[in-house]
Chain A
């Protein structure tokens, strides 16, 4: 019995893939769900893009990735939302903000990484029609993101 328990523990510890990446991976090929991934390399080239209002080139250069998942299938919204919340909990995200406004339910979650890196996830559910998950990781603070709109 001891050997069995020890073996099971060993297997569980050896699983290193994160729960949130499993969320994006899980729904990567699902009909009605679109995923976008922008890498550090692509983000690093954005400061050269000619932008008008709300230039995000500088802040984009500090990011390591941007991931966006949008679900437009009403029948899947509840399931995806549940999976997203489970993944956020497992990954150790802390809820920073929760707001309900005009049928739009928005939650912002934060996880600190080493070297002053922060990971933010936005989970937005618009009524029963659309769900969006936005995940960013980089050397940015919440103030810098907030100030994008304040300019």
Chain B
């Protein structure tokens, strides 16, 4: 084949219109010596393709295994990340709950505690009598205690 035919074949090759036989002819010509100067660049490409050599045995299997192991690592880290995220959210929610509960405990909520209790008496007079009795008892006890203290202090003098 002469150089002009090769150039036409090259155009058809790059358009994907060549047959396998024509591809082989083109490869053989390009891998040979004594090529025209303008086809040297094309020849370098064909020569690089020729020197690739054959596919090592078991390469597909090894690549497939490597991809599977990468996939497992990726899935594992995704699961860990998702679990860590849920744990982090749960931890924050628990801390907020503790802080809220602690705040409620520290805050004087006597009214809320006594909301469940109802007045024992439904009339003011009876309630007054009981309150008076309780307060006077408390007052008497305080006064008695203070009196005792004064007596002890006076005796020491």
Contact = CB atoms under 8 A, between A and B. Distances in A.
Interface of A: 6, 9-10, 13-14, 16-18, 21, 24, 35-39, 41-43, 45-46, 48-49, 51, 54, 56-57, 59-60, 63-68, 97-99, 101, 106, 108, 113-114, 117, 119-120, 122, 124, 132, 134, 136-137, 142, 145-150
B117 A142 contact: no
A41 to B, nearest CB: 8
B108 to A, nearest CB: 5
A149 B120 contact: no
A35 B121 CA distance: 11
B134 A148 contact: no
B132 interface: yes
B132 A51 contact: yes
Interface string B98-123: 10011011001111011001111100
B120 A136 contact: no
Given A37-B119, A122-B137, A113 B110 contact: yes
Interface in B104-157: 104-105, 108-111, 113-114, 117-121, 124-125, 127-128, 130-132, 134-146, 148
B97 A14 contact: yes
A42 B142 contact: no
* 8 nearest A-B residue pairs (beta carbon): A148-B139, A149-B139, A97-B145, A37-B117, A146-B142, A49-B128, A36-B120, A99-B145
A97 B131 contact: no
B72 interface: no
Contacts of B132: 51, 54, 56
Given A18-B113, A35-B120, A37-B118, A46 B127 contact: yes
Contacts of B134: 66, 68, 134, 136
A56 B114 contact: no
A137 B105 CA distance: 17
